[in-house]
Amino acid sequence: MCGRMTMTHPSDAMARLFDAVPANDLPLAPRYNICPTQAVGVICASPGRRSYRPMRWGFVPHWYKTPTDGPLLINARAETIAEKPAFGAAVRARRCLVPATGFYEWTKDEAGNRLPWYFMPSDSAPLVFAGVWQEWGQGAAVLRSFAIVTTAASPWMAVTHHREPVVLAPDDWARWLGETDEKAAPLMRSAPEGYYQRWRVDPKVNSNRAEGPALTQAIAV
């Protein structure tokens, strides 16, 4: 799963990495506690050149009367994404890349306290999650939103959580965005062994108001 993430790379660097045109209203980095319903920079396929634009984290299906009319859909399960009314059309026609630096997951101790862990690639390269996006509303009120695709956790990840976000290697970005004729379904799999590193971090990150680089620093356990 993925319920909180970080982005410490500046927008211009991300735009260059993806060869995308950046919007003027992208969220400023660094950010160490990005939460659902907040704006996140997302890469989309566009005629001529990719776009890098802000979208709300929390997919809003077209039939919602308001953005909060139903459950907050921050993740979409790879196993059922094509069959779900909320995501079926999006996974066929509106796939996106969601760049990040890392993300948090939680375990619980014997007393039921939530213990946060921070995950990032072992080589410290940017993370790229597979996502799907949607437009909701009309005219000036159009809201663009997205969900991160998740899959069953690898044995290594399952120690912390039974789900994990689908991550995409650079060679797979064009395929996920629909810029090639290859099918995208085979990309919805767990990360290879050794891809991640993880460590326990301060429970201060449990608050969605917490911010700052100290949130990602390892603590003694």
Q: Which residues are catalytic?
A: 2, 105
Measured distance CA(139)–CA(141) in Å, rounded: 5
Three-state helix/strand/coil letters over the chain: CCCCEEECCCHHHHHHHHCEEECCCCCCCCEEEECCCCEEEEEECCCCCEEEEEEEECECCCCCCCCCCCCCECEEECCCCCCCCCCHHHHHHCEEEEEECEEEEEEECCCCCEEEEEEEECCCCCEEEEEEEEEECCHHHCEEEEEEEEEECCHHHHCCCCEEECECCHHHHHHHHCCCCCCCHHHCCCCCCCCEEEEEECHHHHCCCCCCHHHHCECCC
- In order of 89, 114, 118, the CA distances from 82 in angstroms are 8, 33, 30
Q: Which two tokens stand for residue 53?
A: 């634009």
